[in-house]
Amino acid sequence: MYAMSRNFILIGVAAAAVATTLSAGCRGSASANAQSDEPPADPRCAPFETVSEHPMGLAGARQAHRRAALRRYLRLREAATPGHIRTLTAAIAPQHDIVAGRVCFAELYEAGRILFEHEFSFADGLGDDRARSGMEAGQSPFRRVHRGASGGPETISCTSCHWRGGPAGAGAVQDNSLLLGDGDRPDSADARNPPPLHGVGVVQALAREMTDDLAAIRRELIATARRTGRTVERTLASKGVGFGVLRADKNGSLDASAVEGVDADLIIRPFGWKGNVATLREFVADSLRVHFGITSERDRSAEFTRGQMTALIVYLAAQALPIHGPPDTEYNLEEAAEGLLPPPPIRFHEAWSRGRLIFDELGCASCHRPFLVLKDPRFTTVDDRGNSYTVDLSTRAEPPRISYDSAMGGYPVWLFSDLKRHDMGADNAARHVHDGVPRSAYMTRRLWGLAHSSPYFHDGRAPVVDVAIRAHGGDAEHVRLEFEALSHAQKNQLRVFLMSMRRAAQLSVP
């Protein structure tokens, strides 16, 4: 018996329908797919229906309806028994079963989805002691402006900020977090706009490989310096991205003063606008704490279990990747009356091609690298006790996902970033130094999915991309000036190219 159906029988639901909902995604042997990049059948999920390989087809519509039905059911169940979802998801995904490979991947993903959408309440640990005692007196538990690193809490669900443009999406400007403030005045804090969360699994995997490359260069440098008894230096580079120069003297002591775009420890930290967090596990723990006051594995007492953390992380890591390329019809809608069909997007092809050239010629691509090549498609998340769970994102993630390209010798990831920090100039300086990152340094934001993630820039000040481009300063000052010098028509073409970076269509039922 696998965990999900056991739980559903325990809670006495009309088990078949709901268990199927949760496990849509488990692939039974009867439905084995001929395509070679499809995941192999998972015996732990055996009798369940297949995932929707065609998110816009009938299977996708059924899945969307089942998810909506489950959402409604769980809302009522939570109302009847506060804390139900917490208990349910903890039972579906105990960390010891997950790491032992005993939990079907699709169940884990669905448990993560439930947690991502769940509206946390006091039964889940919402708020800190102050909030809870105030609440008993009928006060609001929320604090719009964060107080230092301990945060709000300012809201009740991940989806309340990550909702635009599809699952695990971006946030509007009013969803901005006001970080590191005094708990009261907005102008004491740094405003940060919620970015979209698609692709965070491959991003962590890329960053990990880059960190490993830099560590190998450092090891060789120290060994050479000691062996030769001289000061030596090496250019730091990984995946074609340079990170300055590292020196070592004859004793092997390091001088990182000429290192660029990464901390002196050479760990690539791709997450956060400042590029201050290396792993999803750290980010998710932090999000739970600062936005909801919910504690997890690294805190003294954990309200969120290790297994729930893993489920939530796996859900994010396995989101479908955005698509790029010339505008095209993603829908198969031939059956409709002609007047109801969308206009063919062909007319934008020429503008798109020119826009892509402008993107290169202006030097946007020097920071917003169109793709980085991932060598190993596996994503791993490690808990505070060192137990890990690994998933192959080239077979398990929602489609579209990464696929092997023999010419490139790996899995190209079209993220439009170099995963490096750059100086954005004094006008963009933050109020606070966040985790030691200099005030005007920011991580090159990944541009994939840009069509669905407005407003733009770290504080969401840019309602359209032009404003975001004009906000570039510091290392990108010259690029901004060149952008300003473009003709009206060229700006339009660049905009068409940028707006073609989009998320694949999928059906959803509220």
Q: What 3-state class would DSSP assign to 241?
A: strand
Binding mask 303-322 for ligand HEC (x = CB under 6 A): ---------x---x------
User: Under the criterion CB under 6 A, does residue 357 sit at the interface with ligand HEC?
Assistant: no
- Which structure tokens are listed for 278? 């290396």
Cβ proximity to ligand HEC: between 221 and 465 the closer is: 465
Distance CA 178, CA 149 (A): 11
User: Under the criterion CB under 6 A, does residue 21 sit at the interface with ligand HEC?
Assistant: no
Q: Segment near ligand HEC (CB under 6 A), from 7-15, 87-95, 244-252, 465-473?
A: 465-473
Spatial contact of 441 and 192, defined as CB atoms under 8 Å apart: no
User: Under the criterion CB under 6 A, does residue 424 sit at the interface with ligand HEC?
Assistant: yes
User: Under the criterion CB under 6 A, does residue 479 sit at the interface with ligand HEC?
Assistant: yes
Cβ proximity to ligand HEC: between 103 and 161 the closer is: 161
Q: Segment near ligand HEC (CB under 6 A), from 60-68, 207-215, 279-287, 370-378?
A: 279-287
Peptide bond into 343 cis (omega under 30): no
Helices 306-317, 84-92: inter-axial angle, 10-degree rounding: 80
Q: Least distance in Å: CB of 148 to ligand HEC? A: 14
41 burial level (CB within 10 Å; 0-12, 13-18, 19+): middle
Q: Least distance in Å: CB of 479 to ligand HEC? A: 4
Number of residues that bind ligand HEC (CB under 6 A): 51
Residues of this chain, 189-248, that bind ligand HEC according to CB under 6 A:
192-195, 197, 200
Phi, psi (degrees; rounded to nearest 5) at 253: -75, 140
Q: What element of type H or E holds 246? A: strand 241-248
Cβ proximity to ligand HEC: between 44 and 291 the closer is: 291
Cβ proximity to ligand HEC: between 146 and 218 the closer is: 146
- Which structure tokens are listed for 188? 């004491």
Residue 387, CA distances (Å) to 4, 99, 285, 374 in order: 22, 7, 16, 24
Neighbours of 127 (CB within 10 A): 24
- Which structure tokens are listed for 180? 């590191």
> Which positions lie near ligand HEC, rule CB under 6 A?
154-155, 158, 160-162, 171, 175, 177, 192-195, 197, 200, 271-273, 280, 283-284, 287-288, 291, 312, 316, 362-364, 366-368, 422, 424, 428, 442, 444-445, 447, 453, 456-458, 465, 468-469, 472, 475-476, 479, 483
